[in-house]
Structure 1
């Protein structure tokens, strides 16, 4: 005889279903080491130096443009490897790329990002390398980046998307 069980959709899922696999301390350590490596790389390649950024925006030298193009090529190659071998995230989830739609907000945000980058000499990654390298004025850049991020979050419903 077949038995049927009645389910109530309003009940929360069982505890075992809700539990996410914990990220191991080794994974966090690897992320930290990668961050330290990138900070050293940013410092040694002078990506985190204000003068390099300034010279890039004035088209005085190609150093930064070559680094940016190299980063794009590495990212393209990495995405192909991720797709081909179906590599998963640290949490074990599939990594999927879905392009974001183009809209007016992208242009406005890009202009604000570029202006901030030109004035401060840092985009988000090098801020930490600058602070780690003893450039304490970068703390103001960090505060400005955080204020921008929180402002965007607060204004997001009113912005063009």
Structure 2
């Protein structure tokens, strides 16, 4: 049986390794991400696509199966909003943490934006939409 300390240590080591890798690839650099989203440099896009291919292969080897179901009503607008926010801010919710750790303090604004966005989503969901609880992330 694993202890909480061992799980925490493994999580910290894995997180540091991921942060190091993501930073060295360039995903923590706003200029690099901007070039990816404007298709000026395909290196980042190909790195992302390569990671997806690796995960697909790992899922196939592990025989992870998921039955396709009905698409949740919030997937398309959520994906558009997420992609727009990522393109404007230069980071998905994890990247600003890496940017701050690398000394890029304007990413703190992005972190605040993520927190405010999640809170607004939860408020709007509770008041108007009444979708499932996991529809607003975190």
Compute the TM-score of the two structures, normalised by the length of structure 2.
Answer: 0.81
Cα distance in 2 for residues equivalent to 1:100 and 1:151: 27
Contact 1:43-1:49 within 8 A present in 2 as well: yes
Deviating 4+ runs (over 4 angstroms): 96-100
1:63 aligns with 2:43: yes
Cα distance in 2 for residues equivalent to 1:128 and 1:113: 17
Say what the alpha-carbon RMSD is for the aligned residues.
2.3
How far 1:106 sits from its partner (Å)?
A: 1.4
1:28 aligns with 2:23: no
Gaps (5+ residues) in structure 2? 132-138
Q: Give the structure 2 partner of residue 88 of structure 1.
A: none
Q: Give the structure 2 partner of residue 46 of structure 1.
A: 26
How far 1:44 sits from its partner (Å)?
A: 0.7
Count of aligned positions: 130
Q: How does 1:2-151 map to 2 (within 5 A)?
A: 23-83=3-63, 97=66, 101-151=70-120
With a CA cutoff of 8 Å and minimum separation of 6, indicate the structure with the bigger relative contact order.
1
Gaps (5+ residues) in structure 1? 1-20, 85-95
